[in-house]
Structure 1
Amino acid sequence: MSALPPTIPHAAEAAARRWPDRLALVEGEDRRTFAELWQECRTAASALLERGVTTGDRIAIWAPNRREWVVAAVAAQTCGAAIVPLNTRLKGREAGDILRRTRARILFTVSGFLDIDYPALLAGEDLPYLGETVLLDRDWGAFLASGTGPDDTRIDAQLATLTPDHLSDVMFTSGTTGVPKGVLMTHGRILPQVGVWIGNTGLGEGERYLIANPFFHSFGMKVGWVACLLAGAVMVPMPQFDVAEAARLIAQERIAFLPGPPTIFQMLLAERERAPFDCSSLRGGTTGAATVPPVLIERIRNELGMSDIITAYGMTECVNITSCRPGDPVELIAGTCGAAIPGNEVIIADEAGSELPRGETGEILVRGIGVMQGYLDDPEATAEAIDAEGWLHTGDVGTMDQAGYLRITDRMKDMFISGGFNVYPAEVEKLLSAHPAVGMVAVIGVPDERMGEVGKAFVVRRPGGTVEAAELLAWARANMANYKVPRHLVFLSELPRNAAGKVTKIDLKGN
């Protein structure tokens, strides 16, 4: 790749200058060139500048993948603000907490998605810093018209002040403390990692990229639409993954690149057997850190035509940690998540943080330009995650072979992955404890054939509490994102504890 632009807005500007008439985004009948996309970003930036948005401000986006999400993000960053992407599965209480903690000035959301009324979810929340809510599906035209347009001279003046050290986003990840943590990322931490990722995947100019990974995740945003801006690829956003719709888009829009967890590819293979579709345009993609059966990699290559499928590993705190490379054998792609990308150092360490010999099992540590700046307003958690030598402690357990290829074998602490989402029991426990009939609660992950793992909650009722399982689970569904809601619930008279009084979750495994 040529020299990287300093920030994401500069990447959008450079794409418009380099490929003005090339297609940048396809969304149904809506087709935008890079020049048109940048003009809309400038128009939105002018509207934000009219509202006084500037460096240090936080602008929240709570919406599914769509063109306006990208435009709102680039516009906010053009003004010097950091965006706060919100998971579309959050409930009002969870979203309200994030909006308060980030002091978000403006919220971009939608009137509804999957039968969820987002503004209504926030109706009872105290949001002292939020000055305005803009509905992308209703207010967007009026919002754009509220500025002075794409030729606003303040845009270029503001753009000239942006540096790689400006905050790009505050993306929230659940923490083992039970409180979601805001990961502070700068433009200079993101773009070099995305550049390496583009090199490893071969994402090319004009290739159509089906982005089903949500924009509120690093995957959908940073190695999603930001990667398209850098590579000149075409964004084809999907609000949610639907296999029949994905098959239609692959055939109709000639999709070349498609990343996702192994489940997505298994679903596409099954769909192709059920209702054959033209997938001759597919070339490459990436899949996640989960170990993938070699036979699946072979089927993805042979039946879907994705000759350049690779595996990679990243996290909110460091977008891209390891990656396989084009030409790696099937066994490496299926059995590992690659080796450290250029700019990163990755080691396997013991409890003291000392590197272990190759082949031994320990915690995965990463150090490099892409490691987060820290956690929002949480120096203690930052110091716990990033040690004095700059190593980010991922909390994942793995081994490394002699060639530096990483295998993830386990996860530290209690976290489990349900349907591709990280679930932290401490956070679920905290949310469940807010129910007036719940005295104590412990949550563990248990195997599930469809979701991989699901939550199982062990609840001790408060004295006099009469809540039953169905009622408590219904309450949970109303108060937390659905992937966090336990699928199993057991009432106990007490929780098992060790001599120090700590709940011993290992003793719950057989219940």
Structure 2
Amino acid sequence: MVMTAEERRQYLQDLFPVWPRYTLSQHFEHLLTLYAHRPLLIVEDNVFTYEEAWEKGKAFAKSLLKLGVKRRQHVALLMANEADNFFAMLGVWMIGAVCVPINTMLRSDEIHYLLRQSDSRWLIMHQTASGVAHDVEIEKIYDELTNRDRSIHLEQVVCIQNSERPLDGRFISWETFQHLADDVSDEIWRRELEKNRYPDEVADIIYTSGSTGLPKGVMITHDMFLRCGFSTALSRAFEDGRRIYTALPLYHVFALVEGILAASFVGGTLITSPRFTATTTLQMMEKYKATDFLCVPSMLVAVVNHPEVSRYDVSVLNALMCAAAPAPIAIWERAVDVLGVQEICAGYGGTEATAATVHTEVGAPIEIVVNKVGRIKPGGSSGLPEFGGANCQYKTIDPFTGEDLPPGEVGELTVRGNLVTRGYYNKPEETAAVIDKDGWFRTGDLGRIDEEGYLELLGRSKELYKISGENVAPKEVEDVICKHPAVAQAYVVGVKDAMTHETGAAFIELKPGVECSRRDIIEFCQERLAKFKIPRHVWFVSVEEWPMTGTGKIQKFKLQEMAEARLNRDESDMRFMES
């Protein structure tokens, strides 16, 4: 018998009738009493039960203790999407230290900044991850990072060898690190575990993508992680043993919270891969009978357009969450048609709010999923009365004055609650600029909240541009362009214009094998948009040309740079022709 969404939610609430206020290590230790022999994590062909994951984390914790890692010290993880990445996190949490996950696509200068800014004392890394030889990158900056003249410096680097290159002698090898655990007894480990039972301690410092300016380290506590994961399982009505596939990186909150932490509340499983390909995704979902797929739009586009998608048996796949950026209605429709998913979900939140704070309702029609990002997730036992039983609340403010706006008005979305970060690590001015005295965090996102509590995103407040004094929200134009039958995805930015101060520039990826012209797009927009909102510049790009963050988001500031470069080139060509 198939349970309804409400029956599934009731099942989950019966499991956690009172919020336990655990740390992450307490949470996973508690789950041993419920799900010890169930699979928690599957990476390629390696399956790890809850009990095996706990033992792996315990071994990590022992080795860290032998290295000298102490409570509240910062341990950076520069690791591929492998099982050891999660085991390392679990080991760090067990001893009360703080994880600093690092984007594996970064290079030496960027890594240097993050390690210094985060005051990381230890680094655990894969020799190669995301196609980057990190041992070589760290060798370049090793002496500066370990400079003993500084009050806080990097103590040691542990490197997991996964290529033929010999290791730098200054690194601790993986084998040596593992053997360190032999010198730490269960009694010593247990004593350290019991010392660290404070759910409001910072568990992770997770760096934002840095789409503008230098990345900022978001401090997230154990309790924030767990409340957010539980409310996701409740909101999406997880059934017992949900099996989630995602190739999203564990160094970001999407896969960590919406994936493995949320699934853990129902004894579920996270299935993942070190890297994303559409073929691998379909193979893994078929082989391990995934019931849920977490992705960003670029991943979903690749999967549903895979030339042999129909060959794969993904018949048990029932749910899909696609977030981090808007996906056009045609992609959602194709996902329902090709993958057979019944429960589609869009969501919204951010690292500063732990992960997703809102979801679209289970069973919501495609039109809602496309045009809204969701309503505030139910909290169940994890929620608080002051937030109406949820974990947060939203309002809109004037992006220029900061004044509250009436319900339904377009403005900058702000959020407060027990999922919202305490602030950015070692950045008090940046923290004060976005979190006010009442705890409201300015998201920088432009949107509105309708009478039913649904949030609608209209882009970044800083992405608004003016044409002859009229405000234009890029998302409104993008939504129209994406309705064109030839368009796979489109993004719009504002660029300078001598006549109207600014104008719109559209970047468009067409569907495979389809042709379309600039004139086609302009004429399509003329029938659906006010004249001033029609983009003056239209450029077609391939899927490889999109500038992406490591978490699959389009970097609008880079699109702006691309637009300006193209306009400057066109202007130079024109001057050349006139001369």
- TM-score bracket for the superposition, by shorter chain length: 0.7 to 0.9
User: Who is 1:240 aligned against?
Assistant: 275
Give the one of 140, 150, 161 matched to 2:174. 140
Partner of 1:376: 425
Q: CA 1:412–1:283 in structure 2 vs 1: closer, same or farther (change >3 Å)?
A: same
Equivalent in the alignment of 1:127: 145
Partner of 2:412: helix, strand, or coil?
strand
Letter in 1 for 2:405: L
Provide the secondary structure at the position in 1 that maps to 2:199: coil
What CA distance in whole angstroms lies between the structure 2 residues aligned with 1:95 and 1:367?
A: 31
Matches within 5 A, 1:334-413: 334-341=370-377, 342-350=390-398, 351-413=400-462
Partner of 2:367: 331
C-alpha displacement of 1:275: 5.3
Aligned position for 1:156: 190
- Mean Cα deviation higher: 377-386 or 6-15: 6-15
The one-letter code of the counterpart of 2:285 is I
Q: Is the 8 A contact 2:346 2:369 kept in 1?
A: yes
Find the partner of 1:113 among 129, 135, 147.
Answer: 129
Shift of 1:177: 6.7
- SS of equivalent residue, structure 1 residue 219: helix
The answer to whether the Cα contact below 8 Å between 1:40 and 1:150 also exists between their aligned partners in 2 is no
Q: Does 1:314 align with 2:363?
A: no
Shift in Å at residue 10 of structure 1? 1.5
Q: TM-score, normalised to structure 2's length? A: 0.71
Deviation track 1:382-425 (CA, whole Å, cap 9, x = no partner) reads: 111101111000000011211110111020225999x99x9xxx
- Which residue of 242, 248, 258 corresponds with 1:223? 258
Aligned CA-pair RMSD = 3.2
Deviation at 1:260, TM superposition (A): 1.1
Distance verdict in 2 for CA 1:303–1:115, change over 3 Å = closer
Could you tell me whether the CA contact under 8 Å between 1:23 and 1:34 is conserved in 2? Answer: yes
Q: Conserved in 2, the CA contact under 8 Å of 1:91 and 1:481?
A: no
Distance across 1 between alignment mates of 2:432 and 2:175 = 44
Q: Is the 8 A contact 2:303 2:309 kept in 1?
A: no
SS at match of 1:93: helix
- Given the superposition, is the C-alpha separation of residues 445 and 218 from structure 1 closer, same or farther in structure 2, using an over 3 Å criterion? farther
Rounded to whole Å, the distance in 2 between the matches of 1:311 and 1:290 is 9
What does 1:438-453 correspond to in 2, within 5 Å?
447-450=506-509
Alpha-carbon distance in 1 for matches of 2:366, 2:235: 16
2:415–2:442 contact (8 Å) kept in structure 1: yes
Question: For 1:60, what is the secondary structure of its paired residue?
Answer: strand
Q: 1:48 to 1:97 in 2, by over 3 A?
A: same
Q: Is the 8 A contact 2:80 2:130 kept in 1?
A: no
1:163 Cα shift?
1.0
Is residue 5–residue 14 contact of structure 1 (8 Å, CA) maintained in 2?
no
Cα-to-partner distance string for 1:231-280 (whole Å, 9 max, x where unaligned): 32112122121001111111111111111122322222211656521110
Residues 65 and 101 (structure 1), Cα distance of their counterparts in 2 relative to 1, 3 Å cut: same
SS in 2 for 1:258: strand
Is 2:282–2:309's contact at 8 Å kept on the other side of the alignment?
no
Q: 2:321 and 2:216 mapped to 1: Cα distance?
A: 27
Matching residue of 1:65 = 81
Structure 2 Cα separation of the partners of residues 177 and 278 of structure 1: 42
Distance 2:209 2:301 in 1: 28
Structure 1 residues 448-496: Cα deviation after superposition (integer angstroms, max 9, x where no partner): 3349xxxxxxxxxxxxxxxxxxxxxxxxx9xx99987765774999xxx
SS at 2:334 equivalent = helix
Cα offsets for 1:361-395 (capped at 9, x unmatched): 10000011000010111111111110111100000
Amino acid in the other structure paired with 1:144: Q
For the pair 1:185 / 2:220, whether they are aligned, the reply is yes
**8 A Cα contact 2:249 2:551, kept in partner:** no
* Contact kept in structure 1, 2:74 and 2:100, CA below 8 Å: yes
Quick check: 207-216 or 224-233, which moved more?
A: 224-233
Q: For residues 446 and 239 of structure 1, do their structure 2 counterparts lie closer, same or farther at Cα, with a shift above 3 Å needed?
A: farther
Deviation of residue 445 (structure 1)?
Answer: 11
Task: Give runs of aligned pairs for residues 401-480 of structure 1, distance below 5 A.
Answer: 401-413=450-462, 447-450=506-509
Rounded Cα–Cα distance in structure 1 between residues aligned with 2:180 and 2:119: 23
Number of residues of Structure 1 aligned to a counterpart in Structure 2: 446
Q: Contact between 1:193 and 1:320, CA under 8 Å: does it hold in 2?
A: yes
> Alpha-carbon deviations, 1:173-200, whole Å to 9, x = none?
1557722111111111221111111112
CA contact (8 A) 1:335 1:407 kept: yes
1:90 to partner: Cα distance: 0.6
Contact 2:127 2:134 in 1 (8 A): yes
Say whether the 8 Å CA contact 1:58–1:81 is kept in structure 2. Answer: yes
Q: What SS is found at the alignment partner of 1:231?
A: coil
For 1:210 and 1:47, locate their aligned partners in 2 and report how far apart those are by CA, in whole Å. Answer: 30
Q: Secondary structure at the match of 2:317?
A: coil
Q: How far is 1:207 from its partner? A: 2.6
Task: Please tell me whether Structure 1 or Structure 2 has the larger radius of gyration of its CA atoms.
Answer: 2
Q: 1:258 aligns with which of 293, 305, 313?
A: 293
Residue 320 of structure 1, CA deviation: 2.2
**Contact kept? 1:201, 1:286, Cα under 8 Å:** no
Is the 8 Å Cα contact of residues 397 and 411 (structure 2) preserved in structure 1? yes
TM-score (norm. length: structure 1):
0.80
The 1-side partners of 2:193 and 2:202 are apart by: 14
**Aligned residues of 2:130 and 2:275 also touching (Cα < 8 A):** no
Distance in 2 (CA, whole Å) between partners of 1:148 and 1:216 is 28
Counterpart-to-counterpart distance in 2, 1:72 and 1:380:
32
8 Å Cα contact 1:172-1:180 kept in structure 2 = yes
Greater helix fraction, Structure 1 or Structure 2: 2
Are the aligned partners of 1:110 and 1:137 in contact in 2 as well (CA < 8 Å)?
A: yes
Map of 1:296 onto structure 2:
331
Which residue pairs with 1:173 in the alignment?
A: 208
Alpha-carbon deviations, 1:327-385, whole Å to 9, x = none?
Answer: 32332122100112221111111133333223321000001100001011111111111
Kindly provide the amino acid, as one letter, of the partner of residue 271 in structure 1. Answer: H
User: Which deviates more, 347-356 or 76-85?
Assistant: 347-356
Partner of 2:101: 85
* Kept in 2: contact 1:290–1:408 (CA 8 A): no
